[in-house]
Amino acid sequence: MASIICGSLAFDTIMRFEGKFSDQILPDQIHNLNVSFLVPSLRRDFGGCAGNIAYALQQLGGEPLPMATLGTDGADYLQHLKDHGIATDYVRVVEGSYTAQAMIMTDQANNQITAFHPGAMMQAHQTRIAARSDVKLGIVSPDGRDAMLQHAEQFAAAGIPFLFDPGQGLPMFDGAALRHFVSLASWVTVNDYEGKMLSERTGLGFAELSRQVQGLVVTLGGEGSEVWIEGERQLVAPVQAAELVDPTGCGDAYRGALLYGLERGWPLARCAELGNRIGALKIAHRGPQNYRVDRAAWGL
């Protein structure tokens, strides 16, 4: 059975500045800022939440159906998906737009300056969800605001259980909108920071949030994750990464594991265990879609 993955497809351009931003930016001249940074290290990765989640689910042996948009510069990304056996039924090219792009510059102190261009992502709401006999689950991950709202409602109308994963899109919504998402969703997943923001905006603690859905999952980075069901909390132990190379896309890999386990009817805690495991694998590789899962070794 397949899972529809609503979210972004994006190019991540990563640059490394071999100094410190603080040495180049004069605080008393911030009103007259004009600086240039030499970045001898640059790479471009396939990214975006829908792409990263779909990649993880495919690596685990699932059947992802990303629902997302690309711009007219997205031919390489489209081919990348096909090369990895990821269906592109719901990937649409928006003429006259660029693919969403994040341009990230990191200095020696691991400070970052990021510019994000949403591009074609802002048209994601034009693709609609309908019931399909081969679709078992879905996820609403960060995307254009209209797309997140409409896709959540379309999942519910089609009778397709889905994960609500607001991620970095959470600040776009007020408490009423977030409570509406929760009322439609079957599960909610957030990191600890997003979880605090979700609680503040909805006025609902984790225990109460978990009573409104089948389960709430809160990831804690290197501390593992929490699974909340009917107000009860269970801590799922972390998995030690072989090395710490690049955290980009770890949360998305984790969500791919949640979908894989839920597709198979696993208890939520077992899904979280797999999420911790694939997150540890991802963090040992540079870029969000460059790791490989040995399914046989993992017993999948």
Catalytic residues: 252
* Spatial CA neighbour of 182 closest among 224, 144, 211: 211
Residue 19's CB: how many other CB atoms inside 10 A?
12
User: 165 φ, ψ to 5°?
Assistant: -125, 80
Please tell me the total number of residues recorded for the chain in this structure: 300
At 246, the amino acid letter reads D
* Spatial CA neighbour of 183 closest among 202, 170, 169: 202
Is the CB of residue 52 less than 8 Å from the CB of residue 253?
yes
DSSP state of 38: -
3-class SS of residue 65: strand
3-class SS of residue 161: coil
**Partners of residue 188 on adjacent β-strands:** 164, 216
What is d(CA 21, CA 124) in angstroms, rounded to the nearest whole number? 35
Q: Which residue has the tokens 């593992």?
A: 224
What is d(CA 43, CA 71) in angstroms, rounded to the nearest whole number? 20
What is d(CA 65, CA 299) in angstroms, rounded to the nearest whole number? 24
User: 207 φ, ψ to 5°?
Assistant: -60, -45
What is d(CA 168, CA 121) in angstroms, rounded to the nearest whole number? 14
Q: Structure tokens of 169?
A: 């899109």
